[in-house]
Structure 1
Amino acid sequence: MDLALFQDPEAANDWQNVLGIFEFKAPNLKAGISQLEIYLAREPRARFGVWTNGRDSCTVYKLPDGTFKNVRHPAVVLPSPDDDFELATSKAITFNDLLVPTERELRQSFKALLDVVVARDSVVTRSEQQLDQLCNMLLLKLESDTSGTMQPSKPVGFQLRKTEAETGDHIRKAFSALVESREEVFREEHFPSLSFDDHTIKEIVYAWSGWNMLEVGAEAVSSAFQVFRRANLKAGEGQYFTPARVVQAAVRVMDIQPDDKIIDPACGTGGFLIEAFRDMSARISKPETVRTWAHRQVYGVDKDSINVKLTRAMMMVLGDGSVNVHIGDSIREDRWPKDYPYLDRALRDGAFTVVLTNPPFGEGLKVAAKDCEANKYSISLAAGGGKSYKDLEIGLVFLERAYKLLTPGGRVAIILPETYFFSSSYSFLNEWIRTRFIVRGVINVPMEAFQGFCRAKTNLYVMEKQAIPRTQQRSR
């Protein structure tokens, strides 16, 4: 191209920052427009192009549905900073018009929108609030797509209106309706709202309105959402997205049956629960039967409210298995009566036949000795040589939480760092496991699986809870 216009002088030459492109050529108008459309189709962030030969000119706008709008001028007309470069489509977008984005396109879009929110939104300025609001917009988009499947030739709700203000008003009203109709998704929030300013709302709607977010898959949406997560320093809290292939392998090896009751006590964005739901859906033909199964048999807990909101949303989209996904701290049971009273019932000891989980792990992520003592975690006592409780890595404490949750004969699939099982620092662990579990399998997870999040070597450990702990067997 002859000239590129970037949105931010600090990010010149960054392709994600391209706003417009310019071509100054002698050929005719038709050839100039064709050239601009080709360039715009290849520049995912560009909103418009301008062609002129010094006498005539044309502005080509890229619309949210991937089509173009050409505005011809009898003289040389160049855009000004006050122009609106994000136009609505010439006809309303229907569900049939939506295209399925690739995971790469999703991630690029999420990254660009994060930049927009952080740099420009005049209302939402705190990082955690920004993340929550982006999640709300994603929920609204998913709801719009879900509704669109029922009337695929009718206009979808998630699309631009004529002006920025009209778009903002329309989207906020749609979100209020979503809160009313999907109360279970927002049940812990006192006053859920959409707080972005009109400009940010319009940017997000422009970016997503031409996409079908349902067909791209829950794991791809969750993966793309990690862009927001990583910007919010969640990796420092040991939260790592579990790759789809690892999740699928874990669910298959557990051979979940309709009478199994499953839980992920550190569910994150719900990968294991979603895959279990899908696996059951493939075997049970009636959607209402699968929904009933999920309502009775599928549980999840996570401390992060946004993770829980996303999990509920994905389960809702798949067929509504969201009712038993809770915000809470699975580890510190002594805090449940005051902070999470509903967990007492949801996380009853011995109530589950399957635990699937990838708990947080990382250097410095430990449960304090006093918390381990307050909650009687024997694995912490074992780490202290049986004499005193000891600060312990949270992943190992989750292993005991899984043990408590399981019924005798129940099974757990848990991802843990390999070093726990081979380092002399954890010499107590094998004996602790031997007296409580039967190890049924160890599945290698390549280091590349978590590339970009951490470099720890992990395995998927599959164990069965013994009917009678071996310590009791010996005493008998």
Structure 2
Amino acid sequence: MPKLPDPFSTKPTKEQIQTTREILDAIFKEPQVKYGLREFSDIKIDEVLNISEKESGRFYIRCLKRDKDIFIFDKKTNKRKPEEIIRQLWLYKLITQYGYPVNQIKVEENVYFGREIKIKDADIVIYHKDKVSPFIVIETKKPDEKKGLAQVKSYASSMGALIAVWTNGQASQVLYRLHPSREYEYLTDIPKNGESVEDLKKKKLVLADLKRDYDLTERLKILQELVFASTGESMFNEVFKLIYAKIHDEIEARDRKDNELRFRVYFDDQQTKDEVSILFEEAKEKYEGVFEKQDKIKLSASLLKACISKLQDIAILNKNTRIADEAFEFLLPDVAKAQKGQYFTPRYVIKAAVKILNPKPTEYIIDPACGSGGFLIEAMRWVWDNYLQNEPESKKIEYAQRYIYGLDFEEMMHKISRALMTIAGDGSSNIFRLNTLDTKSWFEETEEKLDARKKLKKLLFEFQDYKRDKENQEAFRYFNFDILLTNPPFAGEIHDPVLIREYELTKNKKGGYPDKVERDLLFIERELQFIKPGGRMVTVLPQGKLNNPNTEYIRKWLIDKARILGVIGLHTNTFKLPAPAKGTSTKTSLLFLQRWNDNPELGPLNPFKADYPIFMAVSKKPGKNNSGEYIYKKDADGQFIKDDGNLIVDTDLDEIAEAFVKFAKEQKFSFWK
């Protein structure tokens, strides 16, 4: 066999890189798909592939094994072969990262089933050093392909290979079985050249090994298909237990020798379940109030092992909390979200709102419908980055535990917010499962609600009038928070006549009360009850509440209670989600308010004005396309711009926030002087 040219010894020219870049974007349709090839996140894809135009409008890639040009794209017909790109990138990894010699690798290898030759060949086969016995079979698919696992299993079985790999570039599954009579088990990776499966299993897993650029949602989709489709167990509940156990393990590993992790697949299935179950028990004890004492991991040892194999190599304690947001958005049942109008607020919307309100390190913050805790996390980080940047970690944690509060009635949302606040920096101490609108329900004699009342009582507003103050102490209606940030649930109606009569905005023109009211109407009034005189807030509202003629009474009520600082109209794509998830295209706005106050002893001065300017803006770059997929910023060369390894969403909300801050300073707002 003639010696193959070394494809790694020469660097491509700028023109070659540009050609490769353009053709890859065309092959994968959306540039974001190319970025989504997380299996190759550590590879400069544009530089390692050799793509050239051999015929007019027809492009070929140089195969790293066959040393010949393989067709991949035709501009005229739009015919393309993304799976060939995936194959070449895997060949590059196998040779440069796993150390397999080219002469131990074959592509398009015939698969025999008895006397029959399989028409479709195995994409990549790695042989043992004898170059006769197959060791690993790899089936490469295009990025949006989800099928093919059974196919590669059959190939491996027929060829006698120990390991079968299915990959679409975004995620991969590695299966291993020593003998055809055994069940396949999942591995986190394939062995390197000269390494056995046993060597791979015995390796220590340490914090430095964990990936930080990954698609957790894609991994959960695989688990949904392979594990939870046939178990009958709640995917949300079981995965959430594992995530909590993993969070605990990552925190504890910081103080262990070599930062070793215990959340991993062990040689024995039962040992894996025992170790992870112990971690879960420790996490329950450390982070009380999320799980019941009797809660256990319900998955069988073999299914649990499959789950661990998909989670063990990633860092859940990750600065990019959008990863966790999207994963929980996937886990939550669509029906439950749609019925309650609960949709995760995109991080870039939250960051703009937090920047505008400029929280300070001695200000108490609350989100009375905290959902995933996004507003609280970003407010906490704003204070850390702008006011406590030189303080030790202990001071930052102390701030989070003292000043950050969140309420949510829904059990799953409460668990999510506590988990994400823990991930972000242990600000989960004051996240309570309470019905924000109905404080009567806060007085049930449960341990959880006793703790909530004890902590929230310290922040009740103190009235000078004894009778009114006593009523407030008993009703928990008016609070003394400095800042409120929230996206309350839009959908649903309130039918409780007693609850309806507790709110001013529910009265009709004749002074009577209707039989039912929309939930978000009560939230508008309740939100202002949480903040002190001079306190400020932002809320997400359907635009109809601000624009419709029949809601004029709401606007008049708001103007009487607070200064309207500004309104930012959000794009209809803002809350859309990619299929099959169901987001919403409801037109929404960010409404910023500051309660009137002429007494400096009660809070920041904001004396009543009948006439004043209001900041108004409309977002025209929503950061998402019509399908709900994120749009990312690119530089002049068409390359994605990253911040600390994470892509930046292409939105104009940060610019709008900057304009708001300039306006606030000109108007001498108390929080931007």
State the TM bucket, normalised to the shorter chain.
0.7 to 0.9
Please state if 1:448 is matched with 2:551.
no
Q: Unpaired runs of 5+ in structure 1?
A: 1-14, 16-20
Query: C-alpha displacement at 1:442, in angstroms?
Result: 0.5
Report the CA distance shift for 1:388/1:202 in structure 2 as closer, same or farther (over 3 A): same
- Structure number with larger C-alpha Rg: 2
Moved more, 164-173 or 272-281: 164-173
For residue 239 of structure 1, what is the aligned residue in structure 2? 342
Map 1:167-316 → 2, pairs under 5 A = 167-183=272-288, 185-186=290-291, 189-215=292-318, 217-231=320-334, 233-283=336-386, 284=388, 285-286=390-391, 287-316=393-422
Please state if 1:380 is matched with 2:506.
yes
* Cα shift readout 1:284-337 (whole Å, capped 9, x = no counterpart): 132222222222211000012222222222222333211111001000112221
Q: Distance in 2 between matches of 1:160 and 1:249?
A: 41
Report the CA distance shift for 1:62/1:139 in structure 2 as closer, same or farther (over 3 A): farther
Report the CA distance shift for 1:410/1:403 in structure 2 as closer, same or farther (over 3 A): same
Please state if 1:367 is matched with 2:498.
no
For residue 351 of structure 1, what is the aligned residue in structure 2? 480
Q: Distance in 1 between matches of 2:451 and 2:513?
A: 28
Query: C-alpha displacement at 1:443, in angstroms?
Result: 1.2
Please state if 1:413 is matched with 2:538.
yes
Q: Distance in 2 between matches of 1:221 and 1:251?
A: 20
For residue 11 of structure 1, what is the aligned residue in structure 2? none
1:459 alignment partner, SS class: strand
Task: Report the residue type matching 1:467 in the other structure.
Answer: N
Task: Report the residue type matching 2:272 in the other structure.
Answer: T
Choose the corresponding residue for 2:110, options 10, 14, 24. 24
Query: C-alpha displacement at 1:185, in angstroms?
Result: 4.3
The percentage of counterpart residues that share the same residue type is 23
1:279 alignment partner, SS class: helix
Is the 2:134–2:160 Cα contact (8 Å) retained in structure 1?
A: no
Please state if 1:113 is matched with 2:223.
yes
For residue 204 of structure 2, what is the aligned residue in structure 1? 92
Report the CA distance shift for 1:203/1:385 in structure 2 as closer, same or farther (over 3 A): farther
Choose the corresponding residue for 1:163, options 268, 292, 296. 268
Report the CA distance shift for 1:217/1:33 in structure 2 as closer, same or farther (over 3 A): farther
For residue 6 of structure 1, what is the aligned residue in structure 2? none
* Cα shift readout 1:168-190 (whole Å, capped 9, x = no counterpart): 2221122112222333544xx34
Moved more, 31-40 or 215-224: 31-40
* Cα shift readout 1:88-134 (whole Å, capped 9, x = no counterpart): 743232222221243xx211222332344542226x3xx4xx42222
Q: Distance in 1 between matches of 2:266 and 2:230?
A: 21
Report the CA distance shift for 1:372/1:37 in structure 2 as closer, same or farther (over 3 A): same
* Cα shift readout 1:249-300 (whole Å, capped 9, x = no counterpart): 1111111111211000000010001111111221313222222222221100
For residue 427 of structure 2, what is the aligned residue in structure 1? 321
Moved more, 26-35 or 137-146: 26-35
Task: Report the residue type matching 1:217 in the other structure.
Answer: N
Please state if 1:36 is matched with 2:164.
no
Is the 1:315–1:321 Cα contact (8 Å) retained in structure 2?
A: yes
Q: Distance in 2 between matches of 1:22 and 1:174?
A: 44
Q: Unpaired runs of 5+ in structure 2?
A: 1-82, 84-106, 113-124, 189-199, 461-477, 578-582, 600-605, 611-673
Task: Report the residue type matching 2:555 in the other structure.
Answer: N
Aligned residue pairs: how many?
A: 433
Please state if 1:464 is matched with 2:594.
yes
1:448 alignment partner, SS class: coil
| TM-score normalised by length of structure 2 | 0.58
Task: Report the residue type matching 2:355 in the other structure.
Answer: R
Is the 2:139–2:166 Cα contact (8 Å) retained in structure 1?
A: no
The alignment yields a C-alpha RMSD, in angstroms, of: 3.7
Report the CA distance shift for 1:307/1:53 in structure 2 as closer, same or farther (over 3 A): closer
For residue 5 of structure 1, what is the aligned residue in structure 2? none
Task: Report the residue type matching 1:98 in the other structure.
Answer: L
Query: C-alpha displacement at 1:386, in angstroms?
Result: 5.0
Is the 1:59–1:71 Cα contact (8 Å) retained in structure 2?
A: yes
2:538 alignment partner, SS class: strand
Task: Report the residue type matching 2:137 in the other structure.
Answer: L
Query: C-alpha displacement at 1:83, in angstroms?
Result: 1.9
Moved more, 316-325 or 449-458: 316-325
Query: C-alpha displacement at 1:397, in angstroms?
Result: 1.2
Moved more, 418-427 or 37-46: 37-46
Moved more, 434-443 or 222-231: 222-231
- Which structure has more relative contact order (CA 8 Å, sep 6+)? It is 1
Q: Distance in 1 between matches of 2:173 and 2:555?
A: 61
Is the 1:99–1:210 Cα contact (8 Å) retained in structure 2?
A: yes
Moved more, 35-44 or 162-171: 35-44
Q: Distance in 2 between matches of 1:107 and 1:195?
A: 22
Is the 2:177–2:183 Cα contact (8 Å) retained in structure 1?
A: no
1:58 alignment partner, SS class: coil
Query: C-alpha displacement at 1:141, in angstroms?
Result: 1.7
Please state if 1:133 is matched with 2:238.
yes
Query: C-alpha displacement at 1:209, in angstroms?
Result: 1.0
Q: Distance in 2 between matches of 1:69 and 1:86?
A: 5
